[in-house]
Amino acid sequence: MNKGMPNQGWSPNELVEQKSERHGLVQWWYNLTSIPEPPANASFAQREAARKSHLLSTIVFWLCVSFILFIPACFALPNPYVIYADLGMLVLSIPALILNRARHLQAAGILLTFAFEAALTMVIFTTWPLDEPSIQQYELFVFGELLCVSLLAPGSVFIVMVYNMAVIAVSLIWQPHNQVLMHDMQSQFLPILIRPIAVQLLVAFVSFLWVSGTNKAAKRADKAEMIAKLEHELADQKQELEQGIQQILDIHIEVANGNLNARAPLTQGNVLWQISRALNNLLVRFQRAAQAEQELQRVEYAVNKTVQSIQHADALHHNPRIGLTHTQIDPLIAALQGKTIDYNTVAPFDPRSSQRARE
């Protein structure tokens, strides 16, 4: 029988995404603002939650860096409300990180997306009059879509898309324009309107397909990982089972060769432990039965030799002189002789002699 399977060359833990070593500022930031790394045997949902938490933490970090660097530029813009939108995003990033750390990932994603959309909407509707450089702000709405599709359910990006398109249309049609933009609107209204709306459509659908495909691939990879783990565990169990069966067979061979002291060495953690335990109990009883059989043969041999001694003495008209047999009939011999015993011992017990005597 095969005593074991060859080494697989891999282990289930190698299939799990290994933790990357992070040090310094990055690790400190994750420890402060996101949920801890899950263990290697964590479920797919736990690992996905940790991934999204780290993603949100990273996004907020770079958003804060961008908004801080943009503060000097806010004072150079004609719209005085830009600085309030910029500072408002910085302030609202703090509760988003707190929610993220508290494992409320959905609430943190909604807050961050809503804050960005509200800040950009306020900047657009406080730009008076609207000019051609200002309408380029419409394309910044794509960042809100990217935030939404990355931190929330992929399908929610279309809600943000519809909102962005509505804001663009309302702003471009009803908001006051300067003379240059008004002239261009009269001659190129549809191109000016369609361009930012098309950007919103394109980014929403592409990001939706990208994130949905990534999520499906991650789920398929998780199923493949689970199957691989099960296959590896089954292979280990098969190897353990084959080794246990071989050990039990070896014990049967030893017992068949006369070694009644042989015992199955399987421990309680082995799948064949109960069979091994039952076999060992059977061997103990068999050994006791064999010892009892051997003792019975010795008694039979002693009885036969004693009877022969008595018969031989009777034939010679002598008093029988019976020696101790070192068996269980010795007390009987002592009682029959009135404790007058010749301590000559009988010949050593030979099972073949006992067999011949019975015949």
Is the model's pLDDT at 117 over the cut of 80?
yes
Residues 130, 210 within the same domain: yes
Query: Does 216 share its domain with 303?
Result: no
Determine the structural domain holding residue 307 and report its residue range: 273-358
Residue 94 resides in a domain: yes
User: Are residues 294 and 218 part of one domain?
Assistant: no
Same domain (yes/no): 81, 162: yes
pLDDT band at 335 (very low <50, low <70, confident <90, very high): confident
341: in domain? yes
Name the pLDDT band for 285 (thresholds 50, 70, 90): confident
Per the domain annotation, does 237 fall within a domain?
no
Q: How far apart are CA 77 and CA 57, in angstroms?
A: 30
Q: Are residues 222 and 304 in the same domain?
A: no
pLDDT value of position 355: 52
Which range of 1-10, 104-113, 337-346 scores highest in mean pLDDT? It is 104-113
The answer to whether residue 92 is domain-embedded is: yes
In a domain? residue 117? yes
Tell me which of 229, 260, 295 is where a domain ends: 229
**Domain identity same for 66 and 197:** yes
305-318, pLDDT tens digit by residue?
878 877 877 787 77
Residue 20 lies in a domain: yes
Q: Counting beta carbons within 10 angstroms of the beta carbon of residue 28, is it exposed (0 to 12), middle (13 to 18) or buried (19 or more)?
A: exposed
- The rounded distance, in Å, linking the Cα atoms of 50 and 19 is 11
Q: Which residues 6+ apart lie within 8 Å of 228 measured at CB?
A: 12, 15
* pLDDT of res. 8: 46
Instruction: For 51-61, write each residue's pLDDT tens digit.
Output: 899 999 999 99
Torsion angle (degrees, nearest 10) of CA 301, 307, 313, 318: 120
Q: Which of 201, 229, 257 is the last residue of a domain?
A: 229
Let me know whether 31 and 167 are in one domain: yes
- The per-residue DSSP string of 3-34 comes to --PPP-S--GGGGSPPPPP--HHHHHHHHHHS
d(CA 99, CA 97): 5
pLDDT band with cut points at 50, 70 and 90 for residue 21: low
Are 37 and 143 members of one domain? Answer: yes
- pLDDT at 30 > cutoff 60: yes
Q: 21: closest CA among 12, 10, 30?
A: 30
End-of-domain residue from the set 173, 196, 229: 229
Give how many domains the chain has, as a whole number.
2
Which residues are within 8 A (CB) of 173 and not within 5 positions of it... i.e. 6 or more apart?
193
160 and 79 within one domain:
yes
pTM as predicted: 0.63
β-sheet bridge partners, residue 177 = 130
Please check whether residues 27 and 118 belong to one and the same domain: yes
How far is Cα 265 from Cα 47, in angstroms, rounded to an integer?
A: 41
Asked whether residue 172 falls in the same domain as residue 287, the answer is no
Quick one: 222 and 286 in the same domain?
A: no
In three-state secondary structure terms, 176 is coil
CB atoms within 10 A of CB 123: 20
The answer to whether residue 249 sits within a structural domain is no
3 inside domain: no
